[in-house]
């Protein structure tokens, strides 16, 4: 690097410095967008061999001490002024590896964020005791594994065995796998990870939440030698999380299984990146710059040349786009396999003697649904999926059906439990003096029935049958394979004990209630999300040949319902992507959401450089919450090929506002919800 022109540095200022490369370029972890750049510091002689790239250090910054990461060591600095010295080297390991640093840079560019924010997601908070324990531990010698004899259902899918063979042989295929019912996705991921180990490489597996991670951990314990894998998640606590991070960094662990932030795990010689159920919104980071684990995995696979796998029961529009672009290949089961292992799916109100009766079909559970329920509960557990938790989570006026809102904060009113007063879900204030502003009636009606109320109603209808609930703060992992009713919210479905892999999930039947509540969400992904939730529940039911049946209560003309009846995730994904292309919606186009005060959001939009194809949608009001200032949201849309320009423009504008100490606007590229 060139030395800056100017006066030579006084000799006294250079005393006590490292003899080789006495300048450290440091990424200071600041939250100010305009300071998103490295700063140069002098390296004292005492830190010459410890202040290496990747190490966490403390430095003087803006009148205080701050943490940062050494990015590189230099012989000289281009900064013409006087440089401060490093205070101390904090970490005993280079925790920010070059590979992860480059990935963080790509993610920051993709999501219009700062490098500091992305590094904060990638590197967990240091735990000194955990770091010292890993450094003191004896080195681990890993044995070369052989391919697993049991392929966990991959052989039932076209291109499945070929994918495993290529990974085991050291190649880097990319696949979007849609698993048929009867295939345990956690066992399948563990087999894929083992294939990467067979090739002498490492594997990174990302799942939506800790319940999925528990099931994946069980599958890995059966496939990977003890000590060869770790789970990386925040729920385990700072010490366990940092231990797992350091074991991955040092090569002691060759497989990392974790939730969304684990996609940054510093595994050397990465051979496989897998994301399970990429449509689950748990994969979207809730901290700036809000990256999605799927997109980070795609970027990392391109950067490292590792094999990539998006796997699940369904296929997202984003996964379909990767297939149609040629980036990945499909792994799917043939129709004969799907027919043999899937349950029979019925739309409530369309069969039996009440099929032509509009009043009977309009019931919450029409007659044919009751018949399936009564017959199935004699043979085993029955799963009942309800979209909402609680008792009556949404109330409306008895007369005009206007949604009931709190008179204090305008939050939605709900009935917490039987015999209790209606109260606001936001501020908790009892609705003692509520009257409908539209018609004046003070009576309520249930707009949505929650899981607890459903359990109460079904318990009365089936006396003597055990009724269990799963959802909210009390989620069941397993239920016995005995006749019972299991009422759950989406994502909280328990597994039936003793259900054999490849033979369905063990439930005699499933009822998918209140489908309208999922489909009526004012959201681009409403149908896709409903289909994903229904399929996840239906896959836990025995095959049709064993008497398994699924009853969905929804409009039979809806595309998601038809796809469930046919069990056609691929066709549904093709349709979704095709419609979004016609309407220039994600993922066919790139969106960015701006949230803030009206004047601030307008100022950001006006300051953006001209972009071909840019459309501004909004502003629209953001629902107010107690203690929050009024805000609006504006959505920016550009063609997908202009996404890099949009992200760069937004980043520059936000940094400029930060320099001028103007109020910042929250920027979210590719928001999950755009209305």
Confidence of residue 524 (pLDDT cuts 50, 70, 90): confident
Alpha-carbon gap, residue 660 to 577, rounded angstroms = 42
Our measurement of the distance from residue 346's CA atom to the centroid of its chain's CA atoms, rounded to an integer in Å, reads 30
Residue with tokens 């991921």: 189
pTM over cut 0.95? no
Domains, the chain: 11-90 (3.40.1440), 134-338 (3.40.50.300), 341-580 (no CATH), 589-669 (3.30.70)
Q: Phi and psi of 486, rounded to 5°? A: -115, 105
The two structure tokens encoding residue 166? 């290529």
Alpha-carbon gap, residue 551 to 218, rounded angstroms = 31
Alpha-carbon gap, residue 670 to 105, rounded angstroms = 18
200-213 pLDDT per residue, tens = 999 999 999 999 99
Of 155 and 351, the one with more pLDDT: 155
Confidence of residue 399 (pLDDT cuts 50, 70, 90): confident
Q: What is the pLDDT of residue 416?
A: 78
Of 461 and 90, the one with more pLDDT: 90
Of 494 and 142, the one with more pLDDT: 494
Q: What is the pLDDT of residue 124?
A: 95
Is 90 exceeded by the pLDDT of residue 618? no
516 touches 498 (CB < 8 A):
no
Q: What is the pLDDT of residue 5?
A: 41
165-211 pLDDT per residue, tens = 999 999 999 999 999 999 999 999 999 999 999 999 999 999 999 99
293 touches 232 (CB < 8 A):
no
Buried b (16+ CB within 10 A) or exposed e, 534-568: bbbbbbbbbbbeebbbbbbbbeeebbbbbbbbebb
């Amino acid at each position: 690097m060139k030395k800056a022109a100017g006066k030579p540095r006084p000799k006294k200022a250079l005393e006590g410095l490292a003899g080789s490369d006495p300048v450290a370029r440091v990424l200071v972890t600041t939250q100010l967008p305009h300071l998103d750049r490295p700063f140069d510091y002098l390296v004292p002689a005492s830190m010459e061999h410890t202040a290496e790239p990747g190490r966490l250090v403390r430095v003087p910054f803006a009148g205080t001490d701050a943490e940062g990461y050494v990015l590189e060591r230099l012989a000289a600095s281009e900064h013409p002024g006087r440089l401060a010295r490093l205070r101390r080297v904090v970490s005993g390991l280079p925790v920010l590896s070059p590979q992860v640093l480059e990935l963080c840079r790509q993610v920051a560019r993709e999501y219009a964020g700062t490098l500091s924010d992305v590094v904060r997601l990638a590197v967990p908070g240091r735990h000194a005791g955990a770091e010292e324990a890993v450094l003191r531990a004896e080195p681990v010698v890993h044995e070369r594994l052989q391919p697993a004899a049991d392929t966990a259902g991959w052989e039932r899918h076209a291109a499945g065995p070929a994918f495993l063979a290529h990974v085991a042989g050291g190649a880097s295929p990319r696949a979007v796998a849609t698993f048929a019912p009867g295939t345990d996705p956690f066992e399948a991921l563990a087999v894929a990870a083992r294939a990467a180990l067979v090739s002498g490489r490492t594997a990174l597996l990302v799942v939506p939440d800790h319940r999925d991670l528990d099931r994946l951990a069980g599958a890995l314990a059966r496939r990977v030698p003890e000590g060869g894998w770790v789970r990386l998640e925040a729920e385990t606590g700072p010490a366990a999380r940092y231990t797992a991070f350091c074991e991955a960094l040092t090569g002691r662990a060759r497989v990392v299984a974790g939730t969304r932030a684990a996609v940054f795990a510093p595994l050397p010689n990465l051979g496989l990146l897998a994301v399970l159920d990429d449509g689950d919104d748990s994969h979207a980071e809730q901290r700036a710059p809000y990256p999605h684990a799927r997109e980070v995995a795609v970027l990392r696979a391109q950067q490292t040349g590792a094999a990539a796998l998006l796997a699940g029961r369904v296929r997202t529009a984003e996964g379909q786009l990767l297939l149609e672009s040629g980036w990945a290949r499909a792994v799917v089961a043939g129709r004969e396999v799907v027919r043999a292992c899937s349950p029979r799916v019925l739309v409530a109100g369309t069969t039996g003697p009440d099929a032509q009766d509009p009043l009977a079909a309009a019931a919450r559970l029409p007659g044919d649904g009751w018949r399936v329920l009564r017959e199935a509960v004699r043979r085993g557990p029955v799963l009942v999926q309800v979209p909402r938790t609680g008792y009556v989570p949404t109330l409306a006026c008895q007369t005009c059906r206007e949604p009931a809102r709190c008179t204090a904060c305008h939050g939605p009113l709900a009935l917490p439990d039987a015999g209790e007063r209606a109260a606001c879900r936001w501020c908790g204030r009892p609705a003692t003096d509520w009257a409908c502003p539209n018609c004046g009636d003070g009576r309520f009606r249930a707009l949505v029935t929650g899981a607890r109320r459903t359990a109460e109603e079904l318990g009365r209808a089936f006396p003597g049958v055990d009724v269990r609930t799963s959802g909210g703060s009390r989620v069941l992992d397993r239920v016995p394979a005995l006749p019972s009713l299991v009422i759950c919210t989406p994502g909280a479905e328990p597994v039936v004990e003793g259900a054999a892999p490849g033979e369905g999930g063990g439930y005699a039947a499933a009822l998918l209630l209140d489908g309208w509540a999922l489909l009526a969400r004012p959201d681009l992904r409403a149908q896709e999300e409903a289909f994903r939730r229904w399929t996840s529940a239906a896959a836990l039911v025995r095959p049709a040949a064993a008497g398994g049946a699924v009853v969905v209560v929804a409009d039979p003309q809806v595309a998601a319902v038809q796809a469930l009846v046919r069990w056609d995730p691929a066709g549904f994904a093709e349709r979704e992507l095709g419609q979004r292309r016609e309407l220039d919606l994600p993922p066919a186009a790139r969106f960015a959401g701006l949230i803030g005060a009206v004047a601030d959001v307008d100022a950001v939009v006006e300051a953006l450089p001209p972009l071909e194809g840019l459309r501004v949608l909004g502003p629209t009001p953001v629902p107010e919450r107690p203690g929050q200032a009024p805000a609006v949201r504006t959505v920016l849309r550009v063609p997908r090929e202009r996404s890099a320009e949009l992200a760069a423009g937004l980043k520059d504008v936000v940094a400029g506002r930060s320099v001028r100490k103007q109020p910042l606007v929250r920027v979210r590229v590719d928001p999950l919800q755009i209305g």
